[in-house]
Chain A
Amino acid sequence: MQREVMFAGFGGQGILLSGKILAEAAMAEGLEVAWIPSYGPEMRGGTAYCLVAISDQPIGSPIVRTPSHLVAMNRPSLVKFAPTIKPGGVIVINSSIIDIGSNRSDVDELRVPVTDIAKELGNVRAANIVALSAFVARSRIVGLETFKNTVDVEFAKKPDLRSINLAAVEAGISAALKDR
């Protein structure tokens, strides 16, 4: 079965990296993956999104109009993509800066103040990892242990960011489980 996750927000919020980490984690579980960015004149403060397709079969068309899940880091992203998500999907909303809901009763909506949580941890730039972790904990699209290892490997190259991102993983997971 193929599932797709849309990550969307402002340029600079780490959207593309969130998607890449999820794709790496799925690959580590032996699944087929494709990561597709929005590309072109994207810049800090502009819009950015990427789609990650994960499947147990070779991926035919990675381009879908109705993704399975959404991680919305800002309000325009939620407004744009929430109506397209397949019924039963998970929608993670960055409630620190989004004051509306998905307006969907057929999805699993998870509101997490990821920007505030990242600020409390000491670096607002870890908000993407909080959101991704909350999403993974809620959807279980990949195993939590695989996911944690993947984040660890990703930030092994950047030792000054490693501990805060590992803390962001734990904070995101507990936020997702607390809400349930």
Chain B
Amino acid sequence: MGKVLMKGNEAIAEAAVRAGCLNYFAYPITPQSEIAEYLSRRLPEVGGVFLQGESEVAVGYMIFGASGCGQRVFTSTSSPGFSLMSEAVSYITGAECPAVFVNIVRGGPGLGGILPSQADYFQAVKGGGHGDYHLLVMAPDGVQEAVEMMMMAFPLAEKYRNPVLILGDGLIGQMMEPVEFPENLRSEPTNKDDWASNGMATRNSDTPNLVKSLFLDPRALNDHNLKLKAKYERMMREDLRYEAYNADTDYQALIVSFGTMSRVCRTAIDALKRQGIEVGMIRPQTLFPFPEKAIHEAAIRPSCKVVLSIELNMGQMLEDVQRAVLGERPVHWHGNAGGDIPSPEDIMDLVKSFL
């Protein structure tokens, strides 16, 4: 199949279907409502279930229910909606159920605005709901990568029995770009007979499975949290993803940027190169696990004088970048949290101001 021109939201929806997910429950919210609109038409064609919940709170628990029964399931929402789902996300993570969430982030706090934003970085990578947990978080920089991450998300969620979050923004959701759906990323749902409450009649077992997040015994709860911790460490070893751009040069500045913002930085880096100024970039594709080792090593390159964390918020990833650089170089934040995306010229001026 050749490339087709598709809106990010519709491409994400189609990618989920092609990834073998036949259950989608959601409540509409701008700027991602096209995902629901598309699947309301598409899922019945393939025998799937489309269900509009009465609220995001309800949707979160519908996802928990379907996942606990062993079904592939996903939902999509935007920032305030993800806040409402976060209680359920904590339960789903505690009960070790796989599920995929898409947050097409809008500006905040509160109702904020609908333009591109990365203001939910902390919420995405530091847990988001109550309790000691993480999601595996992927951040695409365009429609094609959104498709690929969406198709990878389901097997990853099942590998770890942990929710996976795709973090986009209004540009990724609303923009049309040429896309293709890689055949090699299709996958079959894994067998969940060993843990899911999927009905004993279909299993050759006399032991009922119990899906729960309640551990009243203190040792049992600590052991459970150690088990979750081991999963997050395994994500770092096995499923960390990042792109190093122009990073084999003797760059004077290192940019760390993801998603929509990284596209602007890429254009600025190319333009600076034509002016004889080399700038490297580490683009985290997974925000959790975070490429802290790669950033550290890139920052301490002898030619590198300064590290810039450029993001569509007031400096959230900045804290993780500082933690990665460990004081070896000065780290500065640059960004905008209103919906205006800095231009390549802004980024070029910023870089020059530090050199």
Contact = CB atoms under 8 A, between A and B. Distances in A.
Contacts of A60: 263-264, 266-267, 270, 344
A79 interface: no
A105 interface: no
A61 B342 CA distance: 10
B322 interface: no
A36 B5 contact: no
A33 B4 CA distance: 11
Contacts of B175: 34-36, 62
Given A60-B344, A61-B343, A65-B343, A34 B267 contact: no
Nearest to B269: A60
Contacts of A36: 171, 174-176
A155 to B, nearest CB: 16
A7 B175 CA distance: 15
B5 A39 contact: no
A33 B176 CA distance: 8
Contact of A20 (B170, B174, B176): B176
Sort chain B's interface into a size bin. 20 to 34
Interface string B87-114: 0000000000000000000000000001
B330 interface: no
Interface string A1-45: 000000000000000000010011001000011111101100000
A32 B341 CA distance: 21
Nearest to B113: A40
A33 B174 contact: no
B178 interface: yes
Nearest to A31: B178
B266 A61 contact: yes
A156 interface: no
A98 B341 CA distance: 31
A177 interface: no
A63 B115 CA distance: 13
Nearest to B344: A61
Interface in B306-355: 341, 343-344
Given A33-B177, A39-B170, A20 B344 contact: no
B41 interface: no
A168 to B, nearest CB: 21
A97 interface: no
Give 6 nearest A-B pairs by CB, closest first.
A60-B267, A35-B176, A61-B267, A61-B264, A60-B266, A39-B174
Interface of A: 20, 23-24, 27, 32-37, 39-40, 59-65
11 contacts: A34-B176, A35-B176, A39-B114, A39-B170, A59-B177, A60-B266, A60-B267, A60-B344, A61-B268, A61-B341, A63-B343
